[in-house]
Amino acid sequence: VRRKLFWMLSAVGKLLVEFIPKLSHDADGLIFQ
């Protein structure tokens, strides 16, 4: 189980373009709360 970080909704674009492609594992998506 991996710890999930919380991000502001305004950061979604940056996460999809910059952060997720650099992960060392497969991303299982974003969860909006």
Q: What is the pLDDT along the chain (33 residues), one digit of tens a residue?
A: 778 778 888 888 887 787 778 888 887 777 777
Q: Report the distance separating Cα 16 and Cα 21, nearest Å.
A: 7
> For residue 23, what are its two tokens?
């992960």
DSSP state of 16: I
SS3 state at 15: helix
**Res 7: pLDDT:** 82
**H helix runs in 1-33, sequence order:** 12-14
